[in-house]
Amino acid sequence: MTTITKTPVELAEIIIDHLYDAPKALAACALVSPAWTARARHLLFGSIQVDLTLAWRTKVFLGLLTHPSSTILGRIHSLDIICGISPLASLERQHNEPEPMPLDSFLSALTFFVDPQTIGGISRLRLSNLDFTTYPLDLQRRISATLSRLHGVLRLSLENIVMHDMRQLNLCILRAFPQLQKLETGTHFLKYGNCETATIRNRKASIEDWNFPEKLNEIELYDDGMATVLAYIGSQSMTGARRTQLHKLSVSRCSQEMVPNLSSALHALSATLTSLRISFLRNKHSDEYDYRGE
């Protein structure tokens, strides 16, 4: 009689880990044994992407989360929300295109009806394609309030986000995450986008508006809005506000015009900064090169 050799748990976990980007294979692994099921579910449901422009898929996802027999609950640690630009985008859509789910509706359903332990287990949040300037003030407050229920977020990524200014970003989004440790931002600012103006205007902000989340210790900046963020950090020393205690700073594609803002930011962070990565543009049309400092 042939004896079936049991696969060591360690080997099984290595195999499953290599299949992290193959959901069909992971689903098959989940059927083998209870030990494989737990590991496969962790990889299958650990990182979730929700595209609000596909409203029917979003509703299916919310239905799975709220189902009494759901196996997703408690396993999500990373949530990626593709927002679909703005509530006004529907006016430009073709008649045969489905309406996207509004961001506030999704966040309300997620934070009110889903198990609180599942919400609290989300440590990484990514928001993309969001024009915050098109939302009325009451809707901005509602979104900020629902975001604050994701109280376990430690890492926040913002990609293709449009804001009026740094104050709006700080008050409407960053303040919602008091435990935030790392921020990656590609934000466009409609006001004070130019480096010199950003520096002057940021000095006039109230002290209350200057404070980043207290536990924030790492920032990665890219896109044209990084000049405004650097000016914001550099001007903190002139406002009397709590200084940002950053340990790591990464700046991608820094142009010559941004150097004064970068210099003031580095001066403000000199007491705490331990790791610095900068990629400079040689000129406006050439490739970048890196500088790394530890």
Q: State pLDDT tens for residues 35-79.
A: 667 666 766 778 889 999 989 989 988 988 888 887 777 888 899
Per the listing, tokens 């600012």 go with 189
Confidence at 219, pLDDT banded by 50, 70, 90: very high
pLDDT at 32 over 50: yes
Residues 198 and 192 sit within 8 Å (Cβ to Cβ): yes
Q: Choose between 249 and 34: higher pLDDT.
A: 249
Task: Report CA Rg, the chain.
Answer: 22
Residues 154 and 121 sit within 8 Å (Cβ to Cβ): no
Quote the pLDDT of residue 51: 93
Q: Which residues pair with 248 in a beta bridge?
A: 218, 275
Residues 40 and 29 sit within 8 Å (Cβ to Cβ): yes
Residues 190 and 164 sit within 8 Å (Cβ to Cβ): yes
The β-bridge relationship of strands 288-293 and 182-189 is unpaired
User: Among 20-34, 146-160, 224-238, 245-259, whose mean pLDDT is lowest?
Assistant: 20-34
Distance, CA of 209 to CA of 206 (rounded, Å): 5
Quote the pLDDT of residue 268: 87
Which helix or strand (DSSP H or E) is residue 281 part of?
strand 275-281
Residues 169 and 210 sit within 8 Å (Cβ to Cβ): no
pLDDT at 169 over 70: yes
Q: What does pLDDT average to over the chain?
A: 79
Cα separation values, 187 from 14, 51, 72, 280, Å = 38, 19, 31, 19
Ordered by start, the domain boundaries in the chain are 7-48, 52-120+132-151, 154-162+178-294
Confidence at 249, pLDDT banded by 50, 70, 90: very high
pTM over 0.95: no
pLDDT tens-digit readout, 185-212: 989 888 765 544 555 455 555 555 667 8
Which helix or strand (DSSP H or E) is residue 126 part of?
strand 124-131
Arithmetic mean of pLDDT, 129-148:
91
pLDDT at 145 over 80: yes
Quote the pLDDT of residue 196: 46
Quote the pLDDT of residue 212: 85
